[in-house]
């Protein structure tokens, strides 16, 4: 069976996006060029940032059509990350709120991709 292990976000400026994710994730990219940057995270996920201007085949989708989710253990952890990210000036789409699956908030990266942080509720 084939399972994905790599996510690519199409971005306007890979250097700027790499700096954004370096600060957000606390890790440096393992590869960085004018058209592509790559992060390998401790959980094994690879996150690529590819210039939407040079990707092949050409990118036709709108930016911001992707959501990356970060699962945390407790609602207090969600509040802590929200405070940290909001203080960095990230655009907030949703302040911390209880939804049917858990406690969550949503911000965006430089290209409008959604970043959701959540802690699952007991009932979910």
Lowest-confidence pick of 1-5, 15-19, 26-30, 82-86? 1-5
Q: What is the pLDDT of residue 46?
A: 96
30 shares its domain with 75: no
Find the domain containing 97 and state its range: 67-120
46 shares its domain with 73: no
As for how many domains the chain has, the answer is: 2
Instruction: Give the pairing of strands 67-72 and 114-120.
Output: parallel
Dist CA 1 CA 96 (whole Å): 37
User: H or E stretch including 20?
Assistant: helix 14-25
| Global confidence as pTM | 0.86
For 83, half-sphere exposure in the C-beta direction (CA atoms, 13 angstrom radius) is: 6
CA distance readout (Å), 92 to 16, 95, 96:
19, 7, 10
115 shares its domain with 83: yes
In a domain, 11, yes or no: yes
14 shares its domain with 45: yes
Overall average pLDDT of the 30-37 stretch:
96
Tell me how many helices (H) and strands (E) the chain has.
Answer: 2, 8
**CATH code where residue 73 lies:** 3.10.180.10
Q: Between vectors from CA 85 to CA 42 and to CA 98, what angle results, nearest 5°?
A: 95
Please say if the pLDDT value at position 96 is more than 80. Answer: yes
Please say if the pLDDT value at position 124 is more than 60. Answer: no
């Amino acid at each position: 069976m084939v399972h994905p292990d790599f996510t690519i976000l199409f971005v306007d400026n890979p250097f700027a996006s790499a700096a954004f994710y370096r600060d957000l994730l606390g890790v440096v990219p393992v590869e960085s060029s004018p058209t592509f940057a790559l992060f390998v995270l401790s959980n094994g996920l690879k996150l690529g940032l590819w210039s939407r201007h040079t990707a092949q085949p050409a990118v036709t989708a709108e930016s911001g059509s992707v959501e990356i989710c970060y699962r945390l253990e407790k609602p207090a952890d969600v509040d802590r990350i929200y405070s940290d990210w909001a203080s960095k000036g990230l655009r907030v789409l949703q302040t911390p709120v209880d939804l049917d699956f858990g406690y969550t908030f949503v911000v965006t990266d430089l290209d409008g991709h959604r970043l959701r942080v959540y802690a699952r509720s007991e009932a979910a």
